[in-house]
Chain A
Amino acid sequence: RKEVEQDPGPFNVPEGATVAFNCTYSNSASQSFFWYRQDCRKEPKLLMSVYSSGNEDGRFTAQLNRASQYISLLIRDSKLSDSATYLCVVQISGSARQLTFGSGTQLTVLP
């Protein structure tokens, strides 16, 4: 079983749609959670951190459920520029700081 699992998609949605991505993680020692965005043939970039209380950044809302080991990302009023691969990322507590990445969910927003 992968440490971080995501639906690979692809998700093809029209402009203005609301789309939700889900992610599950297997290691209960996971301490920090993030969503990264990766454009085609580009490096990953941090989209937002995910907090237990849930957090919102403009059209993006992230939620964490520690009991279910589940993370979500909601994008409202999607734009063409939102087309990318969204990576669910987990950081396990301890001395090492490496990130564990899901394989990503591909989103295409259509005009």
Chain B
Amino acid sequence: GAGVSQSPSNKVTEKGKDVELRCDPISGHTALYWYRQSLGQGLEFLIYFQGNSAPDKSGLPSDRFSAERTGGSVSTLTIQRTQQEDSAVYLCASSATSGRVSDTQYFGPGTRLTVL
């Protein structure tokens, strides 16, 4: 079956521009997560959506970052006024979340963002 998909796969932008990254979770998965992975670093949690609940935004590094999830499915991560330190791979994951803490998260291939 289809896994998590993300677009674009690569994005090069100029400092100061806004970018939008898209995530399509696995059909039926109620939980959706955004992470980012900087070069040589571990994955860093950004934001978590669960069903219709208010998202957990505790990982967003600044107010330039925002995300929304429409209709409980597709999510868009927006970075405004990009900075060079925003360069990273942005990974989306989804899980079924039947209520158990340990539901497996399935990752998309990521969007590699380069800010010049």
Chain B interfacial positions (CB closer than 8 Å to A): 31, 33, 35, 40-45, 48, 50, 56, 58-59, 91, 95, 97, 101-110
Given A4-B42, A31-B101, A43-B91; A97-B50 close (CB under 8 Å): yes
Chain A interfacial positions (CB closer than 8 Å to B): 4, 31-32, 42-46, 49, 87, 91, 93, 95-104
Residues of A within 8 Å of B42, CB to CB, are 4, 87, 101-104
Once bound together, how far apart are the Cα atoms of A42 and B102, in whole Å? 23
**A44 engages B101 (CB within 8 Å):** no
Given A103-B41, A104-B42; A49-B102 close (CB under 8 Å): yes
Given A44-B43, A98-B56, A98-B59; A91-B101 close (CB under 8 Å): yes
